[in-house]
Chain A
């Protein structure tokens, strides 16, 4: 089965092959210019698509009827290395995280940069419930009801310029509140990023709550990113800075293991992690005997291909994993 069949991208959204093949000639034409090393890639990253997906078009992805993960499981099984690398470390240690007051610095290529309190950042935006699948790069998945606001609604307030090709996010990194930061398992602070078209997609959510309550600290309080078609580590937690940038920003896992974690990190059963398979996943959901948790096939873009595949039309997803 070809990747194209798997993704079921409408033909009109796919870059004409001739143009696509020409990209190398185009780059070659730029000649002997030193390679513009962007995030360790020798070839220029594919530019943002001009595809605009409206909330109405993406609506089918807002909810799923699949059985939800128990709140007790989603709040005790966390990867939040700032509080330790064991799954139960964050729920045991994160109480020390102070989430009030909380400010977020928004800057870079935009007309209205500023340092805002969380309340001001989200002012007048109504939290929406989104029930998303979450697929961890480690091979397990959950179904979580989030509360949050579309990332696009927040970003637009700062009026990003045409130079804003990417959005970079930074987590809090405070060794006094976050014991895990004292260990150099990652290059702190935790950093993530999205291409601007990804950030503006209606499925990208800035979450402030889950299960109808405010976010618990271990899940990234008070503000975290949820990008359901990407591996879970893209969902950066406890965000303190959002920056509009022109070049592909550095991201923590990519810096740590560039061959294993790409910038895009779209869920893709066709591209294995170099050390393990991504074809299937263990679904942690429901209260039925988890001893025999169901193993299910992983879907391209985590089942959100219909809503997001057009952003990547013409892109080699094996190369830009």
Chain B
């Protein structure tokens, strides 16, 4: 049949549809938030609670860490379930993590600190939870920049090495969350557990590969 003539370069319609759906899903939290912000700004509605600034910051930060965990879940899922197609969604999930983290940081500067925005330098230097949060965001910048096909080609083997930074980002992001709560650590602990699972899987896999090599030789 015509199967033989199928061009390999073009993405299949199924993938295009799936990617569109992922984009829509990933943009939904932002759309809801913007809609609520519009309501608060226009009518003073209570959609974002008594302290909308805190709610906006918190929600953007939560989605950043969620997309980060989703991006990190791709490789283990691929290896455990054999769903190789998942890798085609990894970049977009990572970029959404970066986008939400950037908006989170922008909200801190532009909505929270506002005219006191220069305080951010002192915060980064003096407040450990902001130091690690800022570092996590800053480490995502080179990863986002080098996420294009051109950079992947140019960097060759070093691309994978560079992108191992995302493991550090995951640890720093969890620390950022953990250190900012007053006493109820249950929510950050949940993300710490997920991160530990996702990073632990990789460590376990590496050790297994390493120890099994001599046996094979």
The interface of chain A, by Cβ under 8 A from chain B, is 69-70, 72-74, 76-77, 81, 85, 87-88, 138, 140, 183, 185-186, 256-257, 272, 275-277, 279-280, 282, 284, 287-293, 295
Q: Within the complex, what minimum Cβ distance (angstroms) separates B53 from chain A? A: 6
Give the residue of A77, A81, A279 whose beta carbon is less than 8 angstroms from that of B50: A77
Q: Judging by beta carbons under 8 Å apart, are B51 and A290 in contact?
A: yes
Q: Residues of B contacting A88 with CB < 8 Å? A: 49
Q: A284-B51, A289-B40 are in contact. List 9 more A-B contacts (CB 8 A).
A: A69-B50, A76-B49, A183-B184, A256-B183, A275-B179, A276-B123, A279-B119, A282-B112, A295-B113
Q: Judging by beta carbons under 8 Å apart, are B51 and A275 in contact?
A: no
Q: Residues of B contacting A185 with CB < 8 Å? A: 183-184
Q: List 24 A-B contacts (CB under 8 A).
A: A69-B50, A72-B46, A77-B50, A81-B184, A87-B51, A183-B186, A275-B128, A275-B179, A275-B180, A277-B123, A277-B127, A279-B119, A280-B119, A282-B53, A282-B54, A289-B44, A290-B44, A290-B48, A290-B50, A290-B53, A291-B40, A291-B52, A292-B114, A295-B116
> What band does the interface of chain B fall in when counting residues whose beta carbon is under 8 Å from A?
20 to 34
Distance of A288 Cα from B37 Cα, bound (Å):
13
Interface residue? B12 (CB, 8 A)? no
Interface of A is mostly: loop
Interface residue? B182 (CB, 8 A)? yes
Given A77-B51, A87-B50, A291–B111 Cβ distance below 8 Å? yes
The interface of chain B, by Cβ under 8 A from chain A, is 37, 40-41, 44, 46, 48-54, 111-116, 119, 122-123, 126-129, 179-180, 182-184, 186
Q: Residues of A contacting B114 with CB < 8 Å? A: 292, 295
Distance of A204 Cα from B122 Cα, bound (Å):
35
Most chain-A Cβ atoms within 10 A of its Cβ — which of B50, B51, B180, B184? B50
Give the residue of B53, B116, B183 whose beta carbon is less than 8 angstroms from that of A291: B53
Q: Give 4 nearest A-B pairs by CB, closest first.
A: A77-B50, A73-B50, A85-B184, A185-B184
Q: Residues of B contacting A276 with CB < 8 Å? A: 123, 127, 129, 180
Given A279-B119, A280-B116, A282-B112, A291–B127 Cβ distance below 8 Å? no
Q: Within the complex, what minimum Cβ distance (angstroms) separates B62 from chain A? A: 13
Q: Within the complex, what minimum Cβ distance (angstroms) separates A70 from chain B? A: 8
Given A275-B127, A292-B114, A87–B40 Cβ distance below 8 Å? no
Q: Within the complex, what minimum Cβ distance (angstroms) separates A283 from chain B? A: 10
Distance of A85 Cα from B128 Cα, bound (Å):
23
Distance of A88 Cα from B183 Cα, bound (Å):
17
